[in-house]
Amino acid sequence: MGTAIVGTAGAALPVRVPGVRTACTAMWALSLLALVTLVVARAAHWTHHRDRARAHLLDPAVAPFHGCAAMALASVGGGSLLLGRDWLGADAAVALGVVLYTAGTLAGLATAAVVPYLMVVRHRVEEPSPLWLLPVVAPMVSAAQGPLFAAHLPAGEARGTLLAVCLGMCGVSLLATLLVVPLVFGRLVTGGPPPAAATPALLLVLGPLGQSVTAASALADAAGPGVPYAVALAVLYGVPVTGFALLWLALAGALVVRARRRGMRFALTWWAFTFPVGTCVTGLEGLAGHTGLAVFGAAAVALYGLLLAGWLAAAAGTVRGLLSGTLLAGPGPAPRAPGPGTGHTR
């Protein structure tokens, strides 16, 4: 999903540069290839190592990541409609998109229900984590992509039902996010900065914020003139939420810079530099289209540059880790989080 959003966000930028759309389509194709590889690997894991796969669900450090697969399916499926049609043709792109989006939406709703249930009855955690957002953000990703598919449905019951479901998924994700984010911020204030390797995960908070703004804009576009004030409501929601997202980006970015100066090395948490930032780009693009204000378009272009830098850093580190074997060697002992009251003495 971190690769797919580089393509979909780049294709909607308010500037037109020759060759950008082709490059964005290539990024979407790369994300599709990666998704197919990971889906096959996950299926093989459940088939041949079912005990380990079940153990991952019961591990509080691993279970939240099941939301990533659902988000990847939905985001790559949406990218099929936006970019895949350039290379696959309209009919094949829509068919592929529907399959991926449907699978991602069902998986996302299941994950949003199952993982929090396991957190209550089976997992035992010592402190809040931004990773708790991963399973509950998945429905918001589907909500943001759903209006693309609604356009291919006949007007009336079918289209209205899909848009209503998307609006409901916005509520599922947004209200769950409002429960988690205060806990994460409270943990920062009382416990101090997280371990260096975990610091990039703070950017995960941007995901539900930027994606909710994107979803609001997409739903307003899909509603059309039949729903008065839909665009105005999307702007009234999107502008303040984007403001908070940019504030959180500044806070998380400062903590990442601090961790980097203190020796933070590459970890898979660096992929948090991609999709969450990309959702802010697509949210700003929606606001730019609805308001006509150049400031939102300029901010989208600036954040897209940050997204590209984050993707290059994460992709390069991942390739190096795969070639050296360090990413396949298995996780080492988890770093210990700083105890309460120690954060402000660092």
Nearest to 82 by CA among 170, 161, 4, 185: 4
Q: Which domain does 10 fall in, by range? A: 4-327
Is 336 within the bounds of a domain?
no
Is 342 within the bounds of a domain?
no
Is 286 within the bounds of a domain?
yes
The terminus-to-terminus CA distance of the chain in angstroms comes to 35
b (16+ CB within 10 A) / e for 113-144: eebbebbeeebeeeebbbbbbbbbbbbbbbbb
**How confident is the model over 14-62, as pLDDT tens digits?**
888 889 999 999 999 999 999 999 999 999 988 998 999 889 888 888 8
Nearest to 266 by CA among 329, 304, 321: 321
pLDDT tens, per residue, the chain with 346 residues? 999 999 999 999 988 888 999 999 999 999 999 999 999 999 998 899 899 988 988 888 889 999 999 999 999 999 999 999 999 999 999 999 999 999 999 999 999 999 999 989 988 887 889 999 999 999 999 999 999 999 999 888 999 999 999 999 999 999 999 999 999 999 999 999 999 999 999 999 999 999 999 999 999 999 877 787 899 999 999 999 999 999 999 999 999 999 999 999 999 999 999 999 999 999 999 999 999 999 999 999 999 999 999 999 999 999 999 888 887 765 444 444 444 444 443 4
Is 37 within the bounds of a domain?
yes
Is 343 within the bounds of a domain?
no
Identify the sign of the CA torsion 209, 205, 145, 14. positive
Residue type, 295: V
Is 320 within the bounds of a domain?
yes
Nearest to 332 by CA among 253, 263, 267, 255: 267
Is 341 within the bounds of a domain?
no
Query: Do residues 306 and 271 lie in contact, with contact meaning Cβ atoms separated by under 8 Å?
Result: no
Residue 288 and residue 308: Cα distance in Å, rounded?
Answer: 20
90-121 and 50-57 helices cross at what angle (nearest 10)?
Answer: 70
Helix, strand, coil tally for the chain in percent (to 5):
80, 0, 20
Query: Do residues 280 and 247 lie in contact, with contact meaning Cβ atoms separated by under 8 Å?
Result: no
Residue 210 and residue 275: Cα distance in Å, rounded?
Answer: 10
Task: Give residue 329's pLDDT.
Answer: 65
Task: Give residue 325's pLDDT.
Answer: 81
Number of domains in the chain: 1
Nearest to 327 by CA among 308, 314, 312, 337: 314
Residue 11 and residue 80: Cα distance in Å, rounded?
Answer: 12
- What Å distances lie between residue 11 and 5, 22, 85, CA to CA? 10, 9, 13
Interacting residues of 49 by C-beta distance below 8 A, sequence separation 6+: none
Is 277 within the bounds of a domain?
yes
Residue reference for tokens 């009234």: 236
For 246, counting Cβ atoms within 10 Å of its Cβ (0-12 exposed, 13-18 middle, 19+ buried), the class is middle
**How confident is the model over 118-171, as pLDDT tens digits?**
989 988 887 889 999 999 999 999 999 999 999 999 888 999 999 999 999 999
Question: What CATH number is attached to the domain comprising 188?
Answer: 1.50.10.150
